[in-house]
Structure 1
Amino acid sequence: MTQENGGPRWGVVGTGGIARAFMEGVRAVPSARVTAVASRTRDRAEEFGREWDVPRRHGGYAELAADPDVDVVYVATPHPWHHPNTLLMLDAGKHVLVEKPMAMNALQVSQMVAAARANDRFLMEAVWTRFLPASRLAQDLVADGAIGELCTVAADFGINVPYDPEHRLFNVDLGGGAFMDLGVYPLELASRYLGELTVVGATRQLSPDRMVDTQTSVLVHGENGVSAALTCASRNVLPNRAVLAGTDGWLEVPRFWAATDVVLHREGSAPERFHRPFRANGYEYEIEEVGRCLAAGERQSPEMTWAESLRLAGVTDQIRDVGSLVSGPSDVRSVPRG
Structure 2
Amino acid sequence: MTDEQAVIDWLMDPDESDPAIRWQVMRDLLDAPAEEWQAERARVETHGWGARLLAHQDDDGQWDGGAHFPADYVWGGTEPGQPWTTTSHVLAQLREFGLDPASDRVPRMVRLIGENARWEHDGQPYWEGEVEPCINGLTVANGAYFGVDVTPIVSRLLDERLDDGGWNCDAEYGSVRSSFDTTINVVEGLLQYEQVTGGTDAIREARRSGEEYLLARSLFRRLSSGEPADPRYLAFVHPNRWHYDVLRGLDHFRAAAALTGAAPDSRLGEAIDHVRARRLEDGTWPLDWNPTGRTWFDVDDGEGRPSRWVTLRALRVLRWWDAHH
Q: TM-score surpassing 0.5?
A: no
* TM-score, scaled to structure 1: 0.28
* Structure ranking higher on relative contact order (CA contacts 8 Å, 6+ apart): 1
Whose helix fraction is larger, Structure 1's or Structure 2's? 2
